[in-house]
Amino acid sequence: MIQSMLYATDLGLYAPLVMQHALALARTFNADLYVVHAVEPMGLFAESVLQSYLDEQALNEFHSQGLSTVIANIEQRVLDSFREELGDEGEQDLARIRAVRVLQGDPSQVILDQAQKLSVDLLIVGSHSHGAGAETPLGRTAARVLQLARVPVYLVPLVERRRKEDR
């Protein structure tokens, strides 16, 4: 029985489609829905640029307060996108969402860690990220999650790829 699910969003072009699947499944199973978005750590180049413009105290402040502000803004963006997509009739679906978490780290590892921590029964992911082309059948994060997940994974295929194949 599926009682809780984790929807991993990349906030990309197809995120609303994957969200619709997540909410439909939550509705069908009368399950709790958790949402996670992973923010990849800053690269060495970005870090070195910050270091050249900020003193040590300002850099430490940015890392502690700036990152938490960015994460809070992303969490709010995810909730706002849910509200916008669902409209006024979506209050019951919104009530199914137990938490929205934005965490820093490798996306596949963040998803797998949260799935284990929350003891969810199902993972919901899209097959691609933002820029993946139609020639690639599966994105890196989706592939790793499929390989390493300890619970079933509901994979939503990339819409653009299906449309091109239908021609």
Digit-coded pLDDT (tens) for 111-151: 999 999 999 999 999 997 655 455 667 889 999 999 999 99
Which one has a higher pLDDT value, 77 or 116?
116
Q: How far is CA 116 from CA 103, 109, 111, 150, 151, in A?
A: 15, 11, 9, 8, 9
Q: What is the pLDDT of residue 133?
A: 53
Question: The whole model's pTM is what?
Answer: 0.79
- Listed in sequence order, the residues at least 6 apart from 8 whose beta carbon sits closer than 8 Å to its beta carbon are 35, 36, 37, 38, 107, 111, 123, 124, 125, 141, 145
- Residue corresponding to tokens 């989706």: 142
Question: For residue 39, what pLDDT band results from cuts at 50, 70 and 90?
Answer: confident
Q: What is the pLDDT of residue 110?
A: 97
CA-CA distance, 24 to 20, in Å (whole number)?
6
Average pLDDT over residues 12-39: 92
CA-CA distance, 78 to 83, in Å (whole number)?
9
Cα dihedral across residues 68, 26, 10, 77: positive or negative: negative
Q: Which two tokens stand for residue 12?
A: 């990309």
- pLDDT tens by residue, 80-90: 888 888 877 77
* 122-126: strand order across its sheet: 97-104, 32-39, 4-8, 122-126, 153-156
Domains in the chain, ordered, with CATH?
Answer: 4-166 (3.40.50.620)
Q: Is the pLDDT of residue 156 over 90?
A: yes
